[in-house]
Every structure is written in C-alpha cells, then in structure tokens.
Chain A
Amino acid sequence: MSKLEDFSAVVDTAVFDGPDASGHFGPYGGVFVGETLIAAVEELAQVYEKLSSDESFWAEYDSELKHYVGRPSPLYFAKRLTDSAGGAKIYLKREDLNHTGAHKVNNTVGQALLAKHMGKTRIIAETGAGQHGVASATVAAKLGLECHVYMGAEDIIRQAPNVYRMKLLGANVISVESGSRTLKDALNEALRDWAANVDNTYYIIGTVAGPHPYPKIVRDFQCIIGREAREQSLEQIGRLPDALVACVGGGSNAIGLFHPFLKDESVAMYGVEAGGYGLATGKHAAPLSAGCAPGVLHGNRTYLMSDEAGQVLETHSVSAGLDYPGVGPEHSWLKDKKRVNYVDATDEEAMKAFHQLTRLEGIIPALESSHAVAYAMKLAATLPRDKNIVINLSGRGDKDIETVAKIEGIEL
C-alpha cells in the first residue's frame, strides 16, 4: 500500500475533514465557554463561514502574506545538518524568515482581516513565548487598532526582548499574576477581558485551541505552510516528503504543516511535544505523548495534563511557547486516529539541537522549533539517505538567546 488511492480505499479520509458543524473533531473540540461569550463565538463562526467562501477574502489574505509577511517561505535543504545526522535528507520550512520571525503572523494577518470585517476596534491576545503577542501587536499597529496582550508574569521574565518589541509596536502588555503565571493563565485572563468587552473586542487566539471556531480558523490560516511545503517538495525533491516533523505546544505550526498532507498516506508525521526534564519526571508539557486523559480547558475538550481531581497541572518546558498543559483538539483526534505520531524531546535535547543547527547551518532556531530539530535528527539517523524529512522551522531564536545564555551560565 503505497499510493494515495489504496489509502483512501482502506481509511475513510473524511475523518480528516473536521471539524463538524458544531466544532467537533470526533469527541474533541466543541464550545466550552461561559454564556456571556457564546454569542461572540457564534458570530465569529458565522462571519468566518461567509468570508471563507468568498474568493476576494482569500485574495486579500494572500496579498498580505506576499507583500507584508514575505511569503512564500523557502524550503531549504540543510546539507550539513543532514550529514551530521547521517541518514535521510533534512529540509527546513523556513517560517523563521517570516516578518516578525515566526509562523504566528500567518494567523494574525488572517484574524486581523476578520476583525476589520467585523468592525471591531480593539484587539486582545494571549502569548507565551511572545511571538504571537508580537505578531498580534504588529497587525494591530498596521491597522491602527488598540491592542492588549496578556502574558504570564513568568514568561515576561523569560522573554524580555519580545515584551519590549510589543511595547514598541504600541501594545499594552498586561502581566498575569494568577495561577502558574504562564500561558494558560494568560488565556484565562484574555477570556475574562473578552467577556467584559465583548462588544468592541476581537480576541486573536494564537493557537489551534479555544472554543470552536478558533481551532478551525487558526488551522486554515496556518495551512499556507503545508500547501507551500507540498508544492516546494514536488518541485525541489520531485515527490512528496517521507516525513514531516513539527513541534507541538498548542499545535498551530504543526497542524499548518500537516493538514495539507493528511490524506497522503506515504507521508509520516511526527508532532514533537516538550519533554521538559523527561516524561518520567512529570515535569513536561507533553499531554499527548505522556498518555494523559482528555479533559476540558479553555473552551475545548482535548488531551489535558490534569491531576486525579481534575485540576490542571503546572507544566515545564525550557521554551515558553510549548509550556501549555493542553493541545489543539484536532491533534487529539489525529492521535486517536493514529495519523500523527506524537513524541517528545527534552529540554536538554532541544538545547543541543539549538546549537547544532546554529553552528552547522548558520540558522538560530527558536527553542520551540529546536524540539522538532532534535527529534528529526534522531529520526533521520534511522532512515536511508534517499528519504526526505521536512522540519517546520517555526521561528527564529533571537528571542531566546538570553534564556540560552542564562542556562549555560554565560553573562551577556
């Protein structure tokens, strides 16, 4: 069974066409928010349904991606990294070269267009590593919209350069002191803000989580990554890649790369979660690969790190962008359907890969993306040289140099 036709005959590929009309991917996803926000998410779903069937909307989006973001991003053959791994050829999908330095802007450009069409004057966003906050502040500046970014107090310390970038862009960065003071708490606070200011406010969620329709909207805007990678693979390699590798926190860069390939049976997929100090220590952010049970948080049902009593656990990762106890509901579904392999890379492995890519290719990756690089190098070593792996290099690492220096005891 190697051809697409065979795959479709055996597997009902319609299972990859979700979500259904009520926002579910199998048992996952849905709408789990307080009544005050229901009207807002329903309105968003209606507006998006209308606009997404409108060619002129996508033309506007494509134009922004080309002229403002700088797409398409290259698919780059990493020769020295390939040689170092000693197996399959490794290609990098260079999302780090986008305006603002990560894949996040693909989504904020799209959602800002939605906000504009809906006549909203105020943008709010949550951020972990700060990349989504920067990407939101950027589009808000471009459109002249007021922008408030919620960020965990802990992350504000870890990602100081991005905090300053957001401020330069005119955004108001609000430090979240509740709970574990990281991304999940920033999401809670953004939901509270939205409930209080629902009339004039558009909430740009940064990942493929949250209540329906967010997981779908964010996925659709990130699918540009996979569509380009597919075309570029056919053009540069002459066929589809054998494996795709992407890091998974909430999972937006991964779904963006994977989704356009889901029905291509020959393409294996690896979602790399943050293994932190190692899955066995419990100090990680890997709900899928650590075998957690499903739960409900931030508007959707998904695999979730929570204790026996249903309290959401504090997570650990060296990278703020992966430090989240849940994951987008579509990933939960793809895990159950065994379409994507969910694995992990530890802090240590990610740090090592960070240095390898930097020294071997002259590309400083984000610590989030370094998790994907770490796993891809292991995978490449197990595969023959005529196989091809595409890594989603979802962001650049400039924001992380202070963190890396600190861990290694270097004073800047």
Chain B
Amino acid sequence: MSRINKIALKAAKANRKLLIPYLVAGDPNLQTTASLMHKLVEQGADIIELGIPFSDPSSDGPVIQRSVERALAKGTTLNQVLELVAQFRETDADTGIVLMGYLNPIEAMGYKIFAEAASSSGVDGVLTVDLPPMEAAELNSVMRSNQVDTIFLVAPTTREERVASITEHCSGYLYYVSLKGVTGAALIDFDSVTANINKLRGMTALPIVIGFGIKDAQSAAAMGKLADGVIIGSAFVEKIALLADQEKHDEQQLSDTVKVITEAREALDKLV
C-alpha cells in the first residue's frame, strides 16, 4: 500500500478531510520552500503538491505563472526539486508528496531516470497536467513499477464515458477540477460540482479531492463537504509572493504565509 493510500485510509477512518496545499518549488528559493513544507505539515497538511517549474505553464493562471517565473529565475531544475524532497524526507516520513508539473522537463530527464529518482527521493505521486491518460501508458508503467502513484484530473468538461479510462490509469487520489478554466480562477459552480462528484462516486473507489478556485476557509469547507479533501494552490502561492528572497524566515513570517492553510484546516475539521 502506498503512502498516499495509507494517508487517505487513515483520514477516512478518522473522518478527517485531506488538506493538500500546492506550492511551486524554488519560489522564492529552495530553502524557503523546505521551511514552508514543514510549516504546512505543522498546520495540518496531509499531502503537499510540489510544483515543478516549467517555462510554459499553459494550464495555470497568472498567480502560479508568476511563481513559476520566479522559481525559474532562480534556476530551479527538476533535479533540485527531487533533492528537496529527499531532504524533506530526512525528517518527515508521514506526509505525502506529489510532484505536479508539465511533461517536458520529465521527457528531458528521461522517464526511467525520473521514476527511479522520484521513488528514491521519497516522492509518492506524480501529476502531469498536460499528459492525458491516452498518452500516458509509458510513463505510467515506469512510475508504477517504481511504486509512485499516478494522479489524473477529471474536469467539468470530462465526458462520462471517458471517466473509466482515467480512473483505470489513476492511483492515489482522483483530482477533480472544480471549474472550467485555469488554476486560481474565480467562479465555482457549486451545483455542478455536487452533481459531478456524486456521479464520480459511483464510478470509482479512489479518494476524490477538489482543486482549482478554492481560496479560503469558506470555499474549502464548501468543497470539503462534497469530497475527501481539497487542494489550495493560487490562494497560498499569492502569499508566498510576498516573502522576501532570503535564506531564513522567522516563524511569524512563515505562519502568516500559511495562514490560509491553517484556516482551511480549522474549517475542514469543523465539518465532521
């Protein structure tokens, strides 16, 4: 059983909603990303989605685009992201780590080298935004043989007959995109999410988490009611943008930055 499976199972037994913050590795620098990751765990994150910076993030809105540009300006590479995870694992064996990004940096490294490095660094899952299931057979097979989960998205536009081909390739959790658009967009249609999540429940036993457009405790609670967990990206990354590029940040600065996550945890815990 993978670490993500264990986390999800344990949460389900405890009636706890999964809280999954997203941040871009290397913004404002890798040391700060590491400090933030530990702070997130302290504030109740169950899994962390770590963004691999890519020059052309065509599924991301302006907040994450700018974060990626800052990380790239620091020269952040996929190799360094993997090292960051390995370093994080030295003191944390419980929190799930999912790498989220685009295919080209993984292609450039080579699927096999990437899969082995991800596995040995302690990465639990990989979500490649621009790699749909029908193109994913090769990468999936090497990830699976290295015990790394492959996570896929379902969108409001996904046709019902496609869901089976997605869940077949998906392990760990299923990521439901709450809206039509890019990360950080504003309008979630609550009724449509409810209907679609209910439909998905009948089609898969995978834990379902909701992301895109969750910006505060209130929206986290609303989405948390429907799903097994929520992902908070842009609303958190927006706060990271305010951090100065320095090696050390004091506790207060880190706490202020992760405040949206702290509040989301409280709101999610009140649901049960």
Residues of A at under 8 Å CB distance from B? 22, 30-40, 42, 178-179, 184-185, 187-188, 191-192, 195-199, 293-299, 304, 306-312
Contacts and interface: CB of A to CB of B under 8 A. Distances in A.
Interface in B45-61: 54-61
6 contacts: A32-B131, A32-B135, A34-B155, A35-B153, A195-B59, A311-B72
B9 to A, nearest CB: 26
> Which 6 residue pairs are nearest across A and B when measured between Cβ atoms?
A310-B108, A310-B105, A196-B181, A34-B59, A35-B153, A188-B58
Interface of B: 54-62, 65, 69, 72, 77-79, 102-109, 129-132, 134-135, 152-159, 162, 166, 177, 180-182, 185
A311 B54 CA distance: 6
A39 B107 CA distance: 25
Contact of A38 (B57, B105, B132, B181): B132
Nearest to B129: A34
B108 A36 contact: no
Contacts of A195: 59, 180-182
Residue of A36, A198, A308 with most chain B CB atoms under a 10 A cut-off: A36
A320 B81 CA distance: 35
A310 B132 contact: no
A22 B134 contact: yes
Given A32-B135, A35-B177, A296-B102, 18 more contacts: A32-B132, A35-B155, A35-B158, A187-B58, A188-B57, A192-B59, A192-B61, A195-B59, A196-B180, A295-B108, A297-B56, A309-B79, A309-B108, A310-B54, A310-B108, A311-B72, A312-B55, A312-B104
Residue of B65, B162, B182 with most chain A CB atoms under a 10 A cut-off: B182
B65 A178 contact: yes
Nearest to A180: B55
A294 to B, nearest CB: 8
A32 B139 CA distance: 13
Contacts of A33: 58, 130, 132
Contact of A40 (B106, B157, B162): B157
B180 A36 contact: yes
Given A35-B158, A198-B180, A310 B57 contact: no
Contact of A298 (B58, B60, B135, B159): B58
Contacts of B130: 32-34, 296, 299
B135 A38 contact: no
Nearest to B75: A309
Residue of B55, B59, B72, B157 with most chain A CB atoms under a 10 A cut-off: B55
A311 B162 CA distance: 31
Residue of A34, A38, A39, A297 with most chain B CB atoms under a 10 A cut-off: A34
Residue of B78, B152, B157 with most chain A CB atoms under a 10 A cut-off: B157
Contacts of B154: 35
A295 B104 contact: yes
A185 B182 CA distance: 15
A298 B130 CA distance: 9
Contacts of B181: 36, 192, 195-196
Residue of B54, B61, B131, B132 with most chain A CB atoms under a 10 A cut-off: B132
A196 B155 CA distance: 12
Contact of B162 (A38, A191, A310): A38
A196 B185 contact: yes
Contacts of A184: 56
Residue of B60, B61, B102 with most chain A CB atoms under a 10 A cut-off: B102
